[in-house]
Amino acid sequence: MQWYVYLISISATTVLSWLVVELLGRPIRTVFELRRKILKRMLVLGNISLPKPRETAVSSREIREYNQAVRNVREAQRIFRNLGFRLLAFCENEPATRNALGLMGLNLVAAGSGLIKLSEAYSRPDTDRAGLRKQIEKALRVPDAAPAASSQRPRRDNAIEYQTKFIYLRDISLST
């Protein structure tokens, strides 16, 4: 072949590869950043308990604790709803990326709708929030770290070790 055919072929291949990277690379990076943010928020806000009934708060300290618990629950609802809508909006705007990530096992639509259901679950005490979190983690393909950690660490007399760490939500920035 002639030398100019090689030059045109190499240039066309370079331009097409750059185009594919630009069309799929940025949205995929955006999805994984959003996924990381979702998992971080689920970890931080996962154990928020619903406030006790207002009628049981007698002292001013209990009333302040109740008000803080209500603010924490509303903030968690807002955050999860916002993340769910962002994920669903991404799925609507980037169908090619959604389908490409679907082949990898990420179900972004199920994760987005699960986040919205999780935000609604904070207003109802009878809803299983742990089950919703598991569904979201399954849709986002979060590996289960517990079996891997238990198989690497030797067991000592079948004793279970618990490490407790108190998290005060008023000290954590909840903004997205």
Distance between CA atoms of residues 44 and 167, nearest Å: 8
pTM above the 0.85 mark?
A: no
Is the Cα dihedral 83, 89, 91, 97 positive or negative? Answer: negative
User: What are the pLDDT digits (tens) for 44-83?
Assistant: 887 787 777 777 878 888 888 888 888 989 999 999 999 9
Per domain, the residue ranges of the chain are: 26-143
CB-side exposure of 149: number of CA atoms within 13 Å? Answer: 5
d(CA 119, CA 114): 9
pLDDT at 151 over 50: no
5-50: per-residue pLDDT in tens? 888 999 999 999 988 888 778 898 999 999 999 999 999 887 787 7
| Confidence band for 148, pLDDT divided at 50, 70 and 90 | very low
